[in-house]
Amino acid sequence: MVTCQDTAGYASRMCDAILQAFHGRVGPVQLLITGLFAGLHVLIEDIPGTGKTTLARAVSQACSTDFGRIQCSPDLLPADITGMLIWDAVSQSFQYKQGPVMHQCVLVDELNRAATRTQAALLETMQEGAVTLDSVRYELPRPFFLVATQNPAAFTGTFPLPEAQLDRFGLSVRIGYPGQDDEARILDYGVSPPPAVPAVMTPDVLLEIRRLVQSVTAVDSVRQYIIRLAAETRSSRLLRLGLSPRASAHLLAASRATAAIAGRDYVAPEDVSDVFRAVAVHRIVLSAQASVEGKKPGGILDDILRTVPVPSGV
């Protein structure tokens, strides 16, 4: 049976393994591992060429999950993601031909280049872990983990992700440019594929870790802290859209995973504050006043963290 100490060890070894292929900041790697352990989907937004695809593939290799990639474009159809029913002459019936989403770890590359109806094909997948075709429900493999990347909104050929789509991502990550030492390592292997990442765990172990994370204790004061943070985003004059109840649940799940990765079986307030920005930044919508004042989403969330009292004695 996996313990919190085991989880901390797995997280550390996963991070080391991933960094053999992904050369960049450690923070994004740790956030992806947090999302993986918590069972939350992750959105990576950054410019092309910063290693988004490499990072997602490395995470899949480190936990030995089968990997599927969906490259989005404006002409991509929903069936290209979910699969379709095809007539089988032998059985004289329609048979389900699986789409690329039927993998344990799925990378949806450049999601905001797909048209809105194609983006919507992922809603049931992300929320319920299933695909429904012609009234028949097909369960996705377990464990299931989805990583989507998107280009900045100002880039050519992008379709903004609707709020309902963004709210299904538990965490959002920005990679940023690598440091000079990391970029030197990238130049060493040039245009060749990055090295394979050694497996750190099996999918069955990942399922055990996810069950453990769900059992991490969150006392009432920590839960109330999460509720007050969410309420502050909803009442802020600088935000037109604050956090949903789903976002609060995702914040608790990410906090539990953060605690388990630290080797603890209880959530501390610091666990909540550590992941608050990653859980919230892609969900909030700035008000007209915030835009006029030149406010940034991250700065507003940092101000909210400073405003809401941190519970003591946990």
Q: Which own/partner pairs from 26-32 qualify as long-range (CB within 8 Å, at least 24 positions apart)? A: 28/55, 28/173, 28/174, 28/175, 29/55, 30/261, 31/171, 31/173, 31/275, 31/278, 32/56, 32/59, 32/147, 32/171, 32/173
User: Which CATH number is associated with domain 216-307?
Assistant: 1.10.8.80
* Model pLDDT, residue 153: 66
Per the prediction, the chain carries an average pLDDT of 91
The proportion of the chain whose per-residue pLDDT surpasses 70, expressed as a percent, equals 97
- 186 or 149, which is more confident? 149
Cis peptide before 143 (omega within 30 of 0): yes
Grade residue 143 by pLDDT with cuts at 50, 70 and 90.
very high
Domain segments of the chain as ranges:
4-205, 216-307
* Model pLDDT, residue 162: 87
**90-94, 163-167, 236-240: segment of lowest average pLDDT:** 90-94
The one-letter amino acid at 40 = L
The one-letter amino acid at 136 = V
pLDDT, tens only, 108-133:
999 988 888 888 889 999 999 999 88
* Model pLDDT, residue 291: 87
C-beta separation of 158 from 151 below 8 A? yes
pTM: 0.93
SS3 call for 294: coil
Mean pLDDT (whole number) for 135-156? 87
Beta 83-88 vs 93-98: how paired, if at all?
antiparallel
pLDDT, tens only, 12-44:
999 999 999 888 889 999 999 999 999 999 999
C-beta separation of 108 from 53 below 8 A? no
| Residue 2 φ then ψ, to 5° | -75, 135
Name the residue among 141, 104, 101 with its Cα closest to residue 123: 101
pLDDT, tens only, 181-214:
888 888 877 677 777 899 999 999 999 999 999 9
* Model pLDDT, residue 190: 67
Give the span between the Cα atoms of 106 and 60, in whole angstroms. Answer: 9
What's the topology of domain 4-205? Rossmann fold (3.40.50)
C-beta separation of 16 from 144 below 8 A? no
- 224 burial via Cβ count (<10 Å: 0-12, 13-18, 19+): exposed
* Model pLDDT, residue 105: 95
Sheet arrangement for strand 42-45: 67-71, 105-109, 145-150, 42-45, 171-173
What's the token pair of residue 305? Answer: 């963290």
Give the span between the Cα atoms of 14 and 36, in whole angstroms. Answer: 11
Going through the chain in order, the beta strands assigned E by DSSP cover: 42-45, 67-71, 83-88, 93-98, 105-109, 130-133, 136-139, 145-150, 171-173, 239-241, 285-286
- 302 or 91, which is more confident? 302
pLDDT, tens only, 252-299:
999 999 999 999 999 999 999 999 999 999 999 999 998 888 899 999
